[in-house]
């Protein structure tokens, strides 16, 4: 038997059931059970993430369940997993990635270009807010918290003229028809790990590690681990807008990264392309380049 710890939102349960099905297919006869939990990020839906501990508030309770032995694995949206994991826990597998781009969603407007000055564009992400504001400084960007259904309902009720969500989450929930447009990475670089589902487990738990290794997607794993390496180099959390996105193209791989202050006034971008076999080294160089170009000062200032 193997027990999965997960949040109880519709998207988190989709992810957990996706992993459950993959494990059962890879290991016929394996008994896989799901345990739903409520995290601090789920309970506090009014405060900005940057004020309540960053995206890690969505994973802490699940990690406690792992460390206490109440679960064997925890399933996460990789963009919510902090750069540094608690001692004794590791990322054992990363499943194949869905579209990592951000989605523009609106009932009245076909694109960001059509929004009038002062239009309200809801997002909970500093990363999205800063990057989109660079192109559209005349728009208003109020905080938007809650699960996907809650955010869509607030849009439908007229509280916002448009909202920005992860494309992957909408696709996984069968809500592709709500996507008005997808933002290109050139305009809004995705968060590290966005679109990927990760499986966290106890370090040294060989039985579990062997089971989940069968559903690891090597290409996605390489890209996401490179992106997370950048976040680790910056000591990333939600207090600064940080993005990192790797693309594997045959035997070559490219990595783009972005960091700015909260106001978006000081911005640093780095891009490097090279052989996929050198992915780890590329990620280290990109992280070092960001720091050398002033990211260290931004972090200290934050």
Q: Which residues of the chain have pLDDT under 50?
A: 42-44, 46-47, 49-54
Residue 206 included in any domain: yes
Domain identity same for 34 and 179: no
Domain containing residue 165: CATH number: 3.40.190.10
Domain identity same for 156 and 299: no
Residue 236 included in any domain: yes
Residue 189 included in any domain: no
Q: What are phi and psi of 129, to 5 degrees?
A: -60, -45
Domain containing residue 286: CATH number: 3.30.160.40
Domain identity same for 4 and 93: yes
Domain identity same for 36 and 68: yes
Residue 188 included in any domain: no
Long-range contacts of residues 53-61, Cβ cutoff 8 Å, at least 24 apart: 53/238, 54/82, 54/237, 54/238, 54/239, 55/79, 55/80, 55/81, 55/82, 55/237, 55/238, 56/80, 56/81, 56/82, 56/237, 58/7, 59/200, 61/37
E strand segments, the chain: 2-7, 32-37, 73-77, 89-94, 102-105, 121-122, 162-166, 181-183, 197-202, 242-249, 252-260, 267-275
* Structural domain count of the chain: 3
Residue 18, token pair as written in the block: 């996706």
Q: Catalytic residue at 113?
A: no
Q: Supply the pLDDT for residue 40.
A: 55
Domain identity same for 178 and 200: no
For residue range 286-296, list pLDDT tens digits in order: 999 999 999 98
Q: Supply the pLDDT for residue 57.
A: 62
Domain identity same for 16 and 57: yes
Q: Supply the pLDDT for residue 300.
A: 77
Q: Supply the pLDDT for residue 200.
A: 97
Domain identity same for 109 and 121: yes
Residue 275 included in any domain: yes
Domain identity same for 8 and 90: yes
Residue 245, token pair as written in the block: 């996105």
Last residue of a domain, one of 183, 206, 231: 183
- Report whether 259 contacts 251 (CB < 8 A): no
Q: Supply the pLDDT for residue 54.
A: 47
Residue 190 included in any domain: no
Q: Which residue's entry shows tokens 């004794």?
A: 88
- Report whether 188 contacts 132 (CB < 8 A): yes
Give the active site residue among 72, 80, 102, 205: 80
Domain identity same for 91 and 203: yes
3-state DSSP assignment of residue 241: coil
Residue 298 included in any domain: yes
Domain identity same for 107 and 92: no
Q: Supply the pLDDT for residue 237.
A: 53
Q: Considering only CA atoms, which of 42, 289, 9 is closest in space to residue 148?
A: 9
Domain identity same for 1 and 70: yes
pTM, full prediction: 0.90
Q: Supply the pLDDT for residue 235.
A: 82
Domain identity same for 237 and 211: no
- Report whether 4 contacts 75 (CB < 8 A): yes
Residue 43 included in any domain: yes
Residue range of the domain that includes 30 = 1-97+196-216
Q: Supply the pLDDT for residue 52.
A: 39
């Amino acid at each position: 038997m193997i027990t999965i710890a997960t949040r109880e939102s519709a998207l988190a349960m989709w992810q957990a059931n996706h992993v459950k099905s993959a494990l059962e297919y890879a290991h016929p006869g394996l008994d896989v059970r799901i345990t739903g939990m409520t995290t601090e990020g789920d309970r506090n839906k009014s405060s900005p993430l940057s004020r309540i501990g960053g995206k890690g508030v969505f994973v802490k309770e699940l990690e406690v369940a792992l460390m206490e032995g109440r679960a064997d694995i925890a399933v996460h949206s990789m963009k919510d997993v902090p750069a540094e994991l608690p001692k004794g826990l590791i990322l054992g597998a990363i499943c194949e990635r869905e579209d990592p781009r951000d989605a523009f969603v609106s009932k009245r407007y076909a694109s960001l270009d059509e929004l009038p000055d002062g239009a309200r564009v809801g997002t909970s992400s500093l990363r999205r807010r800063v990057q989109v504001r660079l192109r559209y400084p005349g728009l208003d960007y109020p905080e938007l918290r809650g699960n996907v259904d809650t955010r869509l309902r607030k849009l439908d009720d007229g509280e916002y003229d448009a909202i920005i969500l992860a494309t992957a989450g909408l696709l996984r929930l069968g809500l592709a028809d709500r996507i008005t447009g997808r933002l290109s990475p050139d305009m809004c670089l995705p968060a590290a790990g966005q679109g990927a589902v990760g499986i966290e487990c106890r370090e040294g738990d060989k039985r579990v590690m062997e089971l989940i290794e069968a559903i690891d997607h090597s290409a996605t794993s390489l890209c996401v681990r490179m992106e997370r390496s950048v976040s680790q180099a910056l000591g990333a959390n939600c207090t600064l807008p940080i993005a990192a996105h790797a693309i594997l193209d045959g035997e070559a791989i490219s990595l783009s990264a972005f960091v700015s202050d909260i106001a978006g006034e000081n911005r640093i971008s780095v891009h490097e392309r090279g052989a996929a076999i050198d992915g780890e080294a590329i990620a280290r160089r990109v992280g070092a380049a960001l720091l050398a170009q002033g990211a260290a000062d931004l972090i200290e200032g934050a």
